[in-house]
Amino acid sequence: MAAPDAIILDRDGVINEIVFRENRPVSPRSLQDFIIREDFREFYLLIAPLPIRLFAASNQPDIRRGNLTVDVLEGMTDLIRNEFPKIEEIVYCCHDDADKCSCRKPKPGLLIGLRDKYNLASDKTYFVGDSRRDILAGAELGFRTVFLAAGYNQESLQKCNPQIIVHNLVELTHVWGKLECHS
Ligand SMILES: [Mg+2]
Ligand SMILES: [Zn+2]
């Protein structure tokens, strides 16, 4: 598989750690709970020197549900921007199902927005997520879909059909790493 031109990352569970509340995986609602994943740091360092563009696309229904303030969400975004400046843009859907928006994944609106704004080629763009919603949204646009598997999302994995399954983000660089070495 060829190295991608661009990688779009889901945020929660990919860039930052999932939070467990009453044993259920949820999104962080405070800056205190917003912890960058170690494998994302490693992945970022590997990607940083490569000609691969990085973006992020995230559902944040906690905004609509009143569980997360816009200020805290902006604080999280600032943190990512400051530490990982190669990520060119982070786009959010702050709606819930009842809003019937076109951007809440599995709807593809967030990804369409990035694809069109940055002229991304579908077959050279990877979309990395930790849920069925991510894989469905990515597949809708013909992106290469990558599922980041963990203990908490096995059921989600059973309900979708990602092209690539990895258990940490560094593994993803091995998918195209071999090809690059021989070319
Ligand atoms: Mg996620
Ligand atoms: Zn939305």
pLDDT at 150 over 80: yes
| Residue 177 pLDDT grade (very low, low, confident, very high; cuts 50, 70, 90) | low
- The alpha carbon of 51 and the centre of ligand 1 are apart by a number of angstroms equal to 25
* pTM across the whole model: 0.95
Q: Name the closest ligand to CA 94.
A: 2
> Ligand nearest 91 Cα, by number?
2
Q: How far is the CA of 180 from the centre of ligand 1 (A)?
A: 29
Does residue 180 have a pLDDT over 60? no
pLDDT of residue 183 exceeding 50: no
93 CA → ligand 2 middle, Å: 4
Dihedral (C-alpha) 177, 44, 39, 90: value to the nearest 10 degrees?
-120
Query: DSSP strand E in the chain: where?
Result: 6-9, 19-21, 24-26, 53-59, 87-93, 125-129, 144-148, 164-166
Q: Give the tokens for residue 74.
A: 């902006």
Residue 13 near residue 148, CB atoms below 8 Å:
yes
Report the C-alpha gap between 46 and 62 in whole angstroms.
Answer: 32
- Smallest-distance ligand from the CA of 56: 1
Average pLDDT over residues 38-56: 97
**How much distance in Å is there from the Cα of 51 to the middle of ligand 2?**
30
User: How close are the terminal C-alpha atoms of the chain, in Å?
Assistant: 12
